Amino acid sequence: MGGAGLEGPHPVAALNPGPSSVVLVTGATGGLGRVVAGELARGGSRVLAGWNSRPPESAGEGIEPVRLDVTDDAQCRAAVDLAIERHGRLDAVVHCAGAARNDLLARLDPAGWDACFRVNLDGTMRLDRAAIRPMVRQRSGHLVHIGSFAGIDGAEGRSAYAASKAALHGLTQSLARELGSRNIRANTVLPGVLRTPMTEPLGGERLAEFAEDNTLGRLNDPGEVARFIAFLLSTANISGQLFNLDSRIHRWA
């Protein structure tokens, strides 16, 4: 957007999405996305649950499954258009779709590197770009990106994943600056290491090491992350921030 066409005074009062807000959740059949969609629906939001590789086995009340490959511009636009067609607005997008490749850079196939960036960064950009237009028209919206502690501290054997998440953090803060004048917020949530299908390939020993890196000696829980995201969506004045949700400590540098 580059800020073009977004001039104008800041709104006197922010529009705070309430229980009837419309939220698009990507990766909604994954370990985190499924829990986030359910938490938001229980809170009264109307949730469009984006799925790609497999449809949800069942959709609870307030959840509408939507075919969504975030690497496809047409599907991103269609999902946003569906929200507007069904509900007249789109209050938030929560980006839970993600990809990881676990290998040392020297052994990593370039295709694996590209896959991480295509989903984690480019996919987020594509859907954000589609969502921004209706949010600008309604003068409100919230883009919630799922980042990673690896994006601020690095991760041995996960360079592609770490680099894509570091770039995502920069995207979040740039969008917060570009869109703030239209009352659109952008934030990144670092959920911590969760026991989900994405982390299963790491194995029990590596997950135990992650737990030891936490001052509390344990991994995070998807339900706690979902509750935090629901809270974040209920706020009005937070934008451009990175929220680390586990107990790993990173120095200020």
And the tokens for 79? Answer: 């999902």
Please tell me the distance from the alpha carbon of residue 227 to that of residue 35, in angstroms, as a whole number. 9
- What's the Cα-to-Cα distance from 235 to each of 21, 84, 238, rounded to whole Å? 12, 22, 7
- What's the Cα-to-Cα distance from 4 to each of 62, 80, 132, 175, 181, rounded to whole Å? 36, 21, 13, 13, 11
- The partner residues of 50 in beta bridges, in order of sequence, read 66
Q: 92, 179 in Cβ contact below 8 A? A: no
DSSP-derived letter for residue 198 is T
And the tokens for 161? Answer: 């994943």
Phi-psi sector, 178: left (phi>0), alpha (psi -120 to 50), beta: alpha
Handedness of CA 55, 56, 57, 59 (dihedral sign): negative
* CA nearest to 72, candidates 54, 91, 50: 50
Please tell me the distance from the alpha carbon of residue 136 to that of residue 173, in angstroms, as a whole number. 17
* CA nearest to 233, candidates 93, 49, 33: 93
Q: 233, 92 in Cβ contact below 8 A? A: yes
Tell me which residues are annotated as active site.
161
